[in-house]
Amino acid sequence: MSMLALDWDHYRTFLAILQEGSQSGAARALGLTQPTIARHLDALERAAGKPLFLRSYQGLVPTETALSMRSYAETMAASAAALARAASGDGDSPEGTVRISASEVIGLEVLPPILTELQHRYPRLKIELSLSDMVEDILKQQADIAVRMVKPSQGALVSRRIGGIPLGMFAHRRYLDRYGTPETVEDLSHHRLIGFDRQFAYVREMLKTYPTMAQVRFDFRSDSNVAQLAMIRAGGGIGMSQIGLGIRDPDLVHLLPGQIELQLMTYLVMHENLRMVPRCRVTFDALAEGLLAYRTATAAPAA
């Protein structure tokens, strides 16, 4: 048996074992029996002519061969999901499934009202929302539409520049009552600061413009912007937030306006092959309209 003779179910099992680390975990994730998973793995290893996983006390450890196969299997998974979304739609009307990729904070705090109105207008439209600060690859069909915080560099993409979403430093009134209000940027060194734990692409872009931010020491770190915002709202310290989100909460205070002025450049992107697909076109347009309105409402906030 060759690798070409295997079907998608075998490679889906392969990915599940990689992700879960065991045959039992893969069986639970896929809703299959463990003997079925074992048969799939046996067929994969016979086709490869070598072991793909080593048994250990910690579970199944992938071999170098398995690791080299992973990206190809992930591409197959993305293509299978994209194929299912394409089949879900009608050729002439906005219906079927659209997968959107966005950062956690945009996806949880900004997009829900936009998507609610979109699905009210098009009740047969189904939305999949992937929340991650990692950049999902549109060209590999991991998503149909993405809200990105870095300028797209790939070809074959339809791109709409939303513009800079303003960022500012915020703290809860409870924190300021306890520790005082900083009057200058230098005063921040005497306060508890909330910040990022990992330099995602948009963070690296920001540090290019404001290299001094790289020297800031944070007392609370998280690679989740939602976790950072939650800590600000809890009174855990001073942190950065989109101004549009910060001013929604009357208990949050915008600090040092005019002294720290940052913008999160935002783009909406879609594969050019989807531009004339009704479900993707109306979703792209609705996201662009909603994000532009959100940005415009906070582009020149009052101090």
Domain boundaries, the chain: 3-84, 90-303
Per-residue pLDDT at 271 exceeds 60? yes
Q: Is the domain defined by 90-303 classed in CATH 3.40.190.290?
A: yes
**Strand ranges (DSSP E) for 5-156?**
53-56, 59-62, 96-102, 125-131, 145-148
The Cα–Cα gap between 295 and 252 comes to: 19
The Cα–Cα gap between 77 and 92 comes to: 27
199 DSSP assignment: -
Contacts 24+ apart (CB under 8 A), 19-25: 21/58, 21/59, 21/60, 22/59, 22/60, 23/60, 25/59
What amino acid is encoded at 45 in this protein?
E
Per-residue pLDDT at 284 exceeds 80? yes
What average pLDDT is seen over the chain? 85
Predicted local confidence at residue 209, as pLDDT: 61
Q: What percent of the chain has pLDDT over 90?
A: 38
What is the band of 243 on the pLDDT scale with cuts at 50, 70, 90? Answer: very high
Please report, to the nearest 10 degrees, the dihedral formed by the alpha carbons of residues 180, 209, 271, 10 taken in order: -70
pLDDT digits (tens, 9 = 90+) for 182-220: 998 888 889 999 988 766 555 665 566 656 666 667 899
The pTM is what? 0.69
Q: Higher-confidence residue: 44 or 6? A: 44
**Range from 114-118, 161-165, 276-280 carrying the lowest mean pLDDT:** 276-280
Burial of 216 (0-12, 13-18, 19+ CB in 10 A): middle
Predicted local confidence at residue 3, as pLDDT: 63
What amino acid is encoded at 267 in this protein?
Y
Among residues 130, 136, 6, 22, the alpha carbon closest in space to that of 73 is found at 6
Phi and psi at residue 82, to the nearest 5°: -65, -40
Contact residues for 52 (Cβ-Cβ < 8 A; gap 6+): 14, 41, 44, 45, 62, 63, 65, 66, 69
Q: Is the domain defined by 3-84 classed in CATH 3.40.50.2300?
A: no
The Cα–Cα gap between 76 and 64 comes to: 19
CA angle 103, 106, 109 (to 5 degrees): 135
Structure-block tokens of residue 177: 């009552």
The Cα–Cα gap between 152 and 268 comes to: 9
Helix axis angle, 34-48 relative to 23-30, nearest 10°?
120
Tell me whether strands 262-271 and 145-148 are parallel, antiparallel or unpaired. antiparallel
Structure-block tokens of residue 263: 């913008």
Tell me whether strands 157-172 and 262-271 are parallel, antiparallel or unpaired. antiparallel
Among residues 276, 291, 296, the alpha carbon closest in space to that of 89 is found at 276
3-state secondary structure of 109: helix
Phi and psi at residue 197, to the nearest 5°: -100, -20
What is the band of 93 on the pLDDT scale with cuts at 50, 70, 90? Answer: confident
